[in-house]
Amino acid sequence: MPKAKDKILSPQAMLAEREKLRRQGLRLVFTNGCFDLLHAGHIDYLQFAREQGDRLLVGINSDSSVQHNKGPKRPIVPEHERAYVLAGLASVDYVVLFEEPEPASLISQIIPDVLVKGADWAEYVSGRETVEANGGRVILADLRKGCSSTNIINKIQQRTS
């Protein structure tokens, strides 16, 4: 079993790994998110994503990307720690950080076979066109009700104010 730190790759290292997977005929699944405060909904989601192929790559927003998407008080957990926690999960094979607000550029480099996103993103899935144009599938995952990092943060703030 690889150590968590060995599952965290640069985009360039992931490209080399992607070529190995292609040669082996293995299907790569991609999903992404901030994963600021890991919760039960994330675990369900990542296990579902992993079941859709042979290997799971999780793209995570860098700190600056999270701030752009969620505001100046986020993330709570720094990018290197979020990456390490995700890499420690058995369902996750690879973790790659990306700087942009959306993972479209990373997806266009990696070209996964399957792209999984939460059903709450049904109207717009970043990278959909790239994946489908290359013969891949986009799968929307049902989410566990009531689980979100934002809800957890709001609950903490309510209890401490």
Q: What are phi and psi of 48, to 5 degrees?
A: -60, -45
pLDDT tens-digit map of 30-75:
999 999 888 899 999 999 999 999 999 999 999 999 999 989 988 9
Domain holding 85, by residue range, is: 4-160
- What CATH number corresponds to the domain at position 47? 3.40.50.620
CA separation, residue 40 to residues 60, 128, 134, 147 (Å): 17, 26, 32, 7
| DSSP assignments along 93-148, one per residue | -EEEEE-SSSSHHHHHHH--SEEEEEGGGTT--TTHHHHHHTT-EEEEEP--TT--
Segment (H or E) for 46 = helix 40-50
Please identify which residue in the block is written with the tokens 């080399």. 16
Domain count within the chain = 1
Residues 81, 34: contact at Cβ < 8 Å? no
> Quick one: 12 exposed, middle or buried, by C-beta within 10 A (0-12, 13-18, 19+)?
exposed
pLDDT over 80 at 161, yes or no: no
Please identify which residue in the block is written with the tokens 């490209």. 15
The pTM of the whole model exceeds 0.85 = yes
Which of 101-110, 122-131, 142-151 shows the highest mean pLDDT? 101-110
